[in-house]
Structure 1
């Protein structure tokens, strides 16, 4: 397991990732950075908008529950 340290650069904190650990990372991809409550840092690839070339209504799903009436203690 490789190790690294944080360092301050201007108003940012920098984490260097050893090349041996970054083999599957794309240098041309922009990443979201998420830190959880335990201090784990996740890099999440930023995807392009999958709906950019979608036709209007292409991802429409009919509401199959619209005609269903509550039969018990459901909140209406």
Structure 2
């Protein structure tokens, strides 16, 4: 287990990750940083937006329930 310290750099806080601990991290990738109430820091790889290059209506799905009439007590 390695240790590190936080330091202030301008308006940011920097955490240095020892190289031995970062061997599975992609240096060219952006990460989302989350901290919880206990101070645990989690790095989540940022995913590319799957809708970025989509054509209009490409992910549209028709309403399958539009023609179905309510039966029984679905509507009070």
Shorter-chain TM range is 0.7 to 0.9
Change (3 A) 1:59 1:11: same
* Aligned equivalents of 2:2, 2:56: Cα separation in 1: 48
Unaligned runs of 5+ in 2: none
- Residue 68 of structure 1 deviates from its aligned partner by 5.0
Give the TM-score normalised by structure 1. 0.76
Q: CA RMSD in A?
A: 2.2
Give the TM-score normalised by structure 2. 0.76
Q: Does 1:69 align with 2:57?
A: no
* Aligned equivalents of 1:22, 1:2: Cα separation in 2: 11
